[in-house]
Amino acid sequence: MDLELMVNSFPKLLSAAVITLKLLSVSLIIGLFIGLFFAILRLNKNIFINKLAYVYSYVFRGTPLLVQIFIIYFGLGQIEYLRSTVLWVILKEPYWCAIIAFALNTGAYTSEILRSAFQTIKPGIIEAGKSLGISNKVVFYKIQIPIAIRQSLPAYGNEIILMMKGTSLASTVTIMDLTGVAKYIISTTFKPIEVFIVAGGIYLFMTFIIHNAIKFLEKKHSFN
Amino acid sequence: MNIFKKTIFSVLFSLLIIGNVNADKIKIGTEGAYPPWNSKSEAGKLIGFEVELAYTLCRYIGQQCVIVEQDWDGMIPALIMRKFDAIMAGMSITAERQKAISFSQGYADEVASLAVMKGSSLEGLDTPAGINLTKPNSDAKKALKTLTGALAGKTVCVQTATIHQNFLDSGDVGKVNVRTYKTQDEVNLDLASGRCDAALAAAVAFSDYAEKSGKPVVLTGPTFSGGAFGNGVGVGIRKDDTELLNAFNKAIDKARKNGDISRIATKWFGFDASM
């Protein structure tokens, strides 16, 4: 065990963890909107709209995140036509390719989490709102969405943690996130165990924070 | 003895036998993704200059060899952790790597070069054909200055943990935006897609890619050797394994004398890259 290497690499890895958190938070925010959008589509009675949302979540939950990143980064980069369009400004950057892949992936899972949360809302609650003369729209935004979000907190907390670990795949498309920098240090020191232990410790710490933040929110918004 | 115990025993026993069979074979690690040094045929078989040379050297050593595949970025750690006994993977002999492992004498040499897509503003840089960085002369220093100016703020792509990455990180060509990839294939893909303004690798890696893909990849600037680029490509061996090191050194001597190295090199590179 090379303790000196572990101590020396710690600050470098910590600053790389900021990139990891950035990737995570940006893709979670975009993914939440995507997820909410598709969850609402899933509740639609129109079979075409319903199936469309189902196919999206089926495809992105049914294929590995690594494959999704590679298709978006290396795959789309091969299409010559795309490179002449304005889209290439975004797709040229590894950072945005990773964000797109992460957001679409977490969006698919989030849509499933929210859909099942919507479906568990007791009809009585909605009817109570309606009987008070509140419009359908207001019932949806002020009653259904807040309850659904509370219902989905435990499952969504898991999704955040899974996604946090998923961001390590950003290093496969040249992004210097926590895993990327760890690999870089290993490439010059040839000591993977020491460096990965420190990187793993930082990931664990981030999980600890996320886990407790979700637990706090669950308590704060508890129904009891 | 019940069936469960029987199974356990037979599995353990067969492991023992397999272990013994492999014990007197030399295991050689290669990447299989760096043509023409080492790559894979369409059927997934390891091929290339080093694969053929490895079998030749093992014949001289008088031992059987197994060639195993290992990702480039884990090559040296895997050797140290005894996943195999020797590295033959286009690995240049550098002072940095020699801190971790030993190298046999060099068996082949490669020059590195920058590559760009045809029509790039970096095409046709005004530099000498080749520079040696071990003791850079005035021409070499001038060339580095030209490169520093041309590459400022540009994205240059390299495979991770290579001499090419070390060179760009060393600051000899100023502040470039270095992007690292797991394999040379990925570097080539992103050079062609336009995400990289330039790429740095063995000159043959680019000519091989240009030939096979038909993409207009052209070399630019000088070819590099010496300094951060090391002193030829050798067999990487664990530091405590002096017996195997001596065996490889002797085998390389014999193979060189009999013309095997230059014959195999000419077959795969199209020119004699042996040393």
A187: nearest CB among B73, B80, B101: B73
Distance CA B165, CA B148 (A): 15
Helix and strand counts by DSSP (H, E) for chain A: 12, 0
Residues of A at the B interface, defined by Cβ within 8 angstroms: 74, 77-78, 83, 92, 94, 172, 174, 183-184, 186-188, 190-192
Measured distance CA(B262)–CA(B275) in Å, rounded: 8
Euclidean distance between CA atoms B177 and B36, whole angstroms: 28
- In tens, the pLDDT along B125-134 reads 989 989 999 8
Question: Cβ contact (<8 Å) for A77 and B193?
Answer: yes
Q: Does pLDDT of B12 surpass 70?
A: no
Per-residue model confidence (pLDDT) at position A197: 97
B96/A188 Cβ within 8 A: yes
- Of residues A187, A188, A190, nearest to B80 (C-beta): A190
Q: What residues does B67 pair with on adjacent strands?
A: B28
- Distance of alpha carbon A219 from alpha carbon B195, whole angstroms: 47
Please, which residues have CB within 8 angstroms of residue A192's CB and are 6 or more apart in sequence? A186, B74, B77
Q: What is the mean pLDDT of residues B185-189?
A: 95
E strands within chain B? Answer: 26-30, 39-40, 46-47, 65-69, 86-87, 102-103, 112-117, 130-132, 155-159, 177-181, 198-202, 217-225, 236-237
| CB atoms A78 and B161 under 8 Å | no
What residues in A contact B87, CB-CB < 8 Å?
none
Best B80, B193, B238, B239 member to test A by mutation, with max A CBs in 10 Å, is B193
The alpha carbon of residue A208 is apart from the nearest alpha carbon of chain B, in Å, by 30
Q: Model confidence over A15-48: pLDDT tens digits?
A: 999 999 999 999 999 999 999 999 999 998 999 9
Question: Quick check: B187 and B199 in contact, CB under 8 A?
Answer: yes
Structure tokens at B240: 């405590």
CB B29 within 8 A of CB B86: yes
The one-letter amino acid at B146: T
Cα A29 to Cα B135: distance, rounded to the nearest angstrom: 54
**Which residue type, as a one-letter code, is found at position B212?**
K
Residues in chain B closer than 8 A to A92 (CB atoms): 194-195
pLDDT at B8 over 80: no
Which pLDDT band holds residue B3 (cuts at 50, 70, 90)? low
Q: B176 at the A interface (CB within 8 A)?
A: no
Distance CA A21, CA A14 (A): 11
B73, closest residue in chain A (CA to CA): A187
Q: How high is the mean pLDDT of chain A?
A: 94
Residue B128 carries which side chain, given as an amino acid letter? P
Residues of B in contact with A184 (CB under 8 A): 160, 180
Nearest to B233 by CA among B22, B2, B50, B15: B50
Share of chain A above pLDDT 70, in %: 100
Asked if A190's CB is within 8 angstroms of B100's CB, the reply is: yes
Write out chain B residues lying below 8 Å of A192, CB-based: 74, 77
Number of domains into which chain A is organized = 1
β-pairing, B112-117 with B217-225?
antiparallel
- Give the 3-state secondary structure percentages of chain A, helix then strand then coil, rounded to 5: 85, 0, 15
Contact B87, B79 (CB under 8 A): yes
Q: Decide if pLDDT at A4 tops 60.
A: yes
* CA distance linking residue A13 with residue A6, whole number of Å: 10
For chain A, give the number of residues. 224
DSSP, residue by residue, A5-42: HHHHHHHHHHHHHHHHHHHHHHHHHHHHHHHHHHHHHH
Phi, psi of A150 (to 5 degrees): -65, -45
- Cα(A31)–Cα(A27) distance, rounded to whole angstroms? 6
Contact A186 B77 (CB under 8 A): yes
Whether B160 and A74 lie within 8 Å, measured CB to CB? no
Evaluate whether B190 touches B181 at the Cβ level (below 8 Å). yes
User: In this structure, what CATH number is given to the domain that contains residue A97?
Assistant: 1.10.3720.10
Question: pLDDT tens digits for B230-252?
Answer: 989 999 999 999 999 999 999 99
Distance from CA of B178 to the nearest CA of A (A): 10
Calpha distance B188→A46 (Å, rounded): 47
Residues across chain B: 275
CB A160 within 8 Å of CB A207: no
Q: Which domain holds residue A15?
A: 3-220
User: For chain A, how far is it from start to end, CA to CA, in angstroms?
Assistant: 50
Q: CB distance A172–B76 less than 8 Å?
A: no
- Whole-number Å distance between alpha carbons of B231 and B247: 20
pLDDT higher than 90, residue B6: no
Predicted TM-score (pTM) of the model is 0.86
- Is there a contact between A83 and B80 if contact means CB atoms under 8 Å apart? no
Taking only the tens place, the pLDDT of each residue in A101-154 is: 999 999 999 999 999 999 999 999 999 999 999 998 999 889 888 898 889 999
Q: What are the two backbone dihedrals, phi and then psi, of residue B47, each rounded to the nearest 5 degrees?
A: -135, 180
Interchain proximity A190–B77, CB inside 8 Å: yes
Alpha carbon distance A204, A198 (integer Å): 10
Q: How far is CA A188 from CA A146, B129, B162, in A?
A: 50, 30, 9
Interface predicted TM-score (ipTM): 0.84
Provide the Cα torsion B102, B107, B112, B117; round to 10°. Answer: -120
CA atoms within 13 A on the CB side of B15: 6
- With beta carbons under 8 A apart, name residues in chain A contacting B188: none
